[in-house]
Chain A
Amino acid sequence: MTAKELKDKSIELRRKTLEIIYNAKAGHTGGSLSIMDILNVLYNRIMNVSPENFNDANRDRYIQSKGHSVEALYTVLADRGFFPEEDLMTLCQYQSPYIGHPTKGVNGMEQNTGGLGHGLPICCGNALAAKKDNSGVKVYTVLGDGEMAEGSNWEAMMFAAHYKLDNLCAILDYNKLQITGSNAEVMGLEPVAKKLEAFGWAVKEVDGHDYDALIETFESLPFEEGKPSFVIAHTVKGKGVSFMENNIKWHHGVPSAEQMEMAREELLIKEEV
């Protein structure tokens, strides 16, 4: 898909994500809107993965380390045809397979995640196995910025550089907010680019909502032969709905009927533009 087509699709994806969260009365709204454009580009433009090849050992792998933003991933997978969209109206309900964090019980989901700091180590294992097999598989993960305080991520970063895993791409969803406050208040992450470079990764910074920039960035992987790639995606928590943007209340917030209507209207206007 072209950048324009992806951007148009993103409005519908955001609306659907909000609808399922609203219906479930549960979910991680801000983070899901924050990573939506990244997932849209990965699944609809970059990665070699589809419902047709999902049992092919040589498909690309996406593991969502920030598992709590699962609603965005469910929405993108449904849109991609991994399962019917109406299934998502059971999100977080009793006996639904669409539970509050990623599980392999859902078609298209590669890995159970939820507790933070688990995704990157598993991706290192995937990338290592792919290298051993010369399979050409590329491995992607999205990490939260608050999650970067987990020590296991830095263990995995050392490992990926040591083993020269240039088939691995980690993406930082850098909206600068976490559940309690800003990253700067909770646990300072800056200068993150320098830290990642010092750990032996090739790093690029990008606007995580700019489709041309995202496509260009992902199409230039690996950024450097023999090095794992880190994309620092500058994002906005709650992106796309004005009253949700940059407000930590929407980390785990669920819209009321009135707020949902306001959000629908905002997105409708964007669609018409």
Chain B
Amino acid sequence: MESTTENSTMENSPRQSAATVGIDPSIVSMVDAIPSNAPVVPVMRLKDVAVSFNGKVAVRDVTFDVGKNRVTSMIGPSGSGKTTLLRALNRLHDLTKSAVVTGSITLDDVDIYKGGIPTTLLRTRVGMVFQRPNPFPTMSIYDNVASGLRFNGIKKKAFLDDAIEHSLRAAALWDSVESRLKVAAATLSGGEQQRLCIARALAVEPEILLMDEPTSSLDPVSTQHIEDLLTSLKEIVTIVIVTHNMQQAARVSDDCAFLLMGEDRAGELIEFATTEKIFTNPTDKRTLDYIQGRFG
């Protein structure tokens, strides 16, 4: 009974406050009722993080905590450094010689850039799903999901079988591919391929799953499927998602980071708060302008 009351007040209060600051109530209504009582446990902490290429700063001044089993979204217009920041979280910038990441990013209090954790191990703990579905084209559905485990030396078939069924179920794909696991992954539809990539990332049991605009190349129905999936996934994995789509951020995330390109064309963190607060009562005027669609 108590929780029902709480939910209903939560449903109402954002709309009212939104109306007072002039935000489209249809966006606000998408904000999920947040389990407010659960204490937020930070699993990854960013402090003064900046990324630069060839000495040119792409994003800077980023400080926030990623809460365990929550969905954290990063929103902002093009060029605000969302993707650049996301790729710093599992050291994908290591591939680019000119990239320098400063500040500190800690995973369970270990700084991931100061040698506390091998990069390959870090990437099994912090997985990634990309903008476009990228299943390995020479591999079957089964082999795609198994690839991460195999990279890490797991060969036992029984274990792989089990992990693959489990991951595909978690990605809501098992029922449609169960009978054709040995078929090329490229035969799946775009939305299915993206869910396959989610299953592939989940198979190595990461603590955090980074998602870089995972629905931007998908049709609305597939997008809906992925969004539904996120809500159930956060029970097993912490999610950080970059999205161009404000409504999507409002629908799926618990916390929200708003980034914006500064005058020197470097992105910076403007505001980090619960999604509810960002979308109903943001502190910074620029956040409000963005939410109201004044730019971007």
B partners with A = no
